Amino acid sequence: MQRLLVTGAHGQVARALTAQAQGHFACRALDRTTLDITDAKEAEAALRDYRPDCVINAAAYTAVDKAEQEQAAAYAVNRDGAAHLATACARIGARLIHLSTDFVFDGRTNVPYQPDAAAAPLSVYGASKWAGEEEVRRIASEATVVRTSWVYGPGGGNFVRTMLRLLQQRPQLSVVADQFGSPTHTHSLARFLLHLVRHGQGAGQTLHWADAGAATWYDLAHMTRLLARQRWPERVWGDVVPTDTAGYPTPAQRPRFSVLDTRSAVAVTGLTPASWMCMLDQALRLDDAADWLPA
């Protein structure tokens, strides 16, 4: 059985990974208290102790707006932490799969981004993630960088859960309808990542993985509301109305269009992304209610 080490154990992607790895991999998931990736020595010690075949770096500083004020903290995790893991992996001969984001792009296009498209991050978060990618490619040339977008999963801190909470608190919610991306369920992302590990695919490559189709934040909120009304008709759900980016200013600038072209990942793995609407429908119909609704 391959040995897998996952960082950022309490994060939404890490939790999906550890759940799906069960029975297929010997998997150790370490949270910040057991492996703080900003500490190079800790990273090396953790890898020397467990001797994994593969490390998936799901740890990150992900507070996009807060990062504008906390640049050093974002870079410490997203750039330096990634570099520490790449160095430790190179030393023990483990493979690294590093996660990154659609926010490395500026969104000034109307066609999905290829993995080799020019990065031009608009935010500190995006820039720190791009810097982490560059470090990983420089230090561990056989590593795989996987960019994904608009991630949500049961129990995680994410847009879908925020909508479910706010729609029960407010009669009406304005949501941005002029930014386009691909919502991605942690379940599909974890499946893709573990497929790469199992089959040794993607070494030395940058790949894009997201659920299929494009949406605006408004579309995602609207669909979340429709599905929530079906599953929990006894609850009162507010309305969702569209606004534009100018009507909802945030500290961090986000790309207007950050749909990822997944074709090279499909060619490498033979997997096909499911539509984001099907994945959301499945999540809100089948997952435990407690994972989606606040107590």
Ligand X SMILES: NC(=O)c1ccc[n+]([C@@H]2O[C@H](COP(=O)([O-])OP(=O)(O)OC[C@H]3O[C@@H](n4cnc5c(N)ncnc54)[C@H](OP(=O)(O)O)[C@@H]3O)[C@@H](O)[C@H]2O)c1
| Residues taking part in catalysis | 125
The least distance separating ligand X from the CB of residue 152, rounded to whole angstroms, comes to 7
**Which part of the chain contacts ligand X (CB under 6 A), choosing from 9-17, 172-180, 235-243, 276-284?**
9-17
| Distance from the Cα of residue 16 to its chain's centroid | 11
188 binds ligand X (CB under 6 A): no
Do the strands 180-181 and 215-216 form a parallel or antiparallel pair, or are they unpaired?
antiparallel
The least distance separating ligand X from the CB of residue 45, rounded to whole angstroms, comes to 14
- Strand-pairing partners, residue 91, are none
Give the whole-angstrom CA distance, residue 166 versus residue 171.
Answer: 9
Give the whole-angstrom CA distance, residue 114 versus residue 124.
Answer: 22
Query: In terms of CB distance, is 207 or 237 closer to ligand X?
Result: 207
The least distance separating ligand X from the CB of residue 11, rounded to whole angstroms, comes to 2
The least distance separating ligand X from the CB of residue 227, rounded to whole angstroms, comes to 19
Site string for ligand X, 134-173 (x = CB under 6 A): --------------xxxx----xx----------------
The least distance separating ligand X from the CB of residue 32, rounded to whole angstroms, comes to 4
3-class SS string, 219-231: HHHHHHHHHHHHH
Give the whole-angstrom CA distance, residue 218 versus residue 260.
Answer: 19
38 binds ligand X (CB under 6 A): yes
* Residue-wise DSSP of 268-279: HH---PPBHHHH
**Which part of the chain contacts ligand X (CB under 6 A), choosing from 35-43, 201-209, 249-257, 272-280?**
35-43
Query: In terms of CB distance, is 82 or 237 closer to ligand X?
Result: 82
Give the whole-angstrom CA distance, residue 120 versus residue 152.
Answer: 24
Question: Do the beta carbons of residue 128 and residue 81 sit within 8 Å?
Answer: no
Contacts with ligand X in 58-97 (CB under 6 A)? 58-62, 77, 81
Query: What sign has the CA pseudo-torsion 219, 223, 226, 228?
Result: negative
**Which part of the chain contacts ligand X (CB under 6 A), choosing from 10-18, 169-177, 259-267, 271-279?**
10-18
Query: In terms of CB distance, is 36 or 219 closer to ligand X?
Result: 36
Query: In terms of CB distance, is 95 or 129 closer to ligand X?
Result: 129
In b/e form, how buried is each residue of 113-132, taking b as 16+ CB within 10 angstroms?
bebebebebbbbbbbbbbbb
Which residues contribute to the site for ligand X (CB under 6 A)?
Answer: 7-8, 10-13, 32, 35-38, 58-62, 77, 81, 99, 101-102, 129, 148-151, 156-157
